[in-house]
Amino acid sequence: MHAFESLDVFGGAAGLDFANTVDGRGTDRPVDYLPTYAELAAWSAYIGLVDTADAERLGRHDAPATLRTALSLREAVFQVFHAIGQGRPAPVAALDEVRQRYAEATAAARLAPDGAGAFTWQFEGDDPDRAWWPIAVDAVRLLTGGPLDRIKVCAAEAGCAGLFLDTSKNRSRRWCTMDGCGVDAKVKRQATRRRNRT
């Protein structure tokens, strides 16, 4: 089992899920669940961005430079969507990095039917960068197509900073997961209520 399998996948978009592979960003001890290139390749398969056999082949690369590129992209994606989720302008440098990686990804892609009546970017071959190409494409699709008004940052005070697309009907979702930060908040509310009663 990979360490990242213990993380909840709650983003609702590959780019957001990628940003969420650092857990507890707002705390003193954030945990990075993608410490090696092999883990990055395995995660891409886990999320469904690369098929399993291809990811296994990719994972045999020792590609520290590719990992650095991917993790830099991850920070840029986080900064852009974290700002959007908080109603702030997206940082220019981060936005430009996402654009640059998207340009590299689409330069390596081909356009192919997606099986549902449209075309999509598809990736082939054993270039190690293939592990992050679909993430750059997904992040730009979300940026250009939205719905950006549904992007939220987990409201947990403990510093979760998880990013997600709120697809609830009345846009009322506040937590990354109800049984994670949602429960923590509920416990805290109850404790406050108990304190106020006495």
**Which residue ranges make up the site for Zn ion (CB under 5 A)?**
154, 156, 160, 162, 176, 181
Considering the complex, what minimum distance in angstroms separates the CB of residue 119 from Zn ion?
A: 36
Map tokens 């940003």 to a residue: 19
Considering the complex, what minimum distance in angstroms separates the CB of residue 148 from Zn ion?
A: 20
Considering the complex, what minimum distance in angstroms separates the CB of residue 176 from Zn ion?
A: 3
Considering the complex, what minimum distance in angstroms separates the CB of residue 139 from Zn ion?
A: 20
- Which residue, 148, 177, 145, is CA-closest to 7? 177
DSSP 3-state of 147: coil
Identify which of residues 40 and 161 has a Cβ nearer to Zn ion in the complex: 161
- Which residue, 42, 46, 40, is CA-closest to 65? 40
Beta bridge partners of 163: 153
Identify which of residues 25 and 130 has a Cβ nearer to Zn ion in the complex: 25
Identify which of residues 22 and 58 has a Cβ nearer to Zn ion in the complex: 22
Identify which of residues 85 and 162 has a Cβ nearer to Zn ion in the complex: 162
Please, what is the Cα angle at 141 between 139 and 146, to 5 degrees? 100
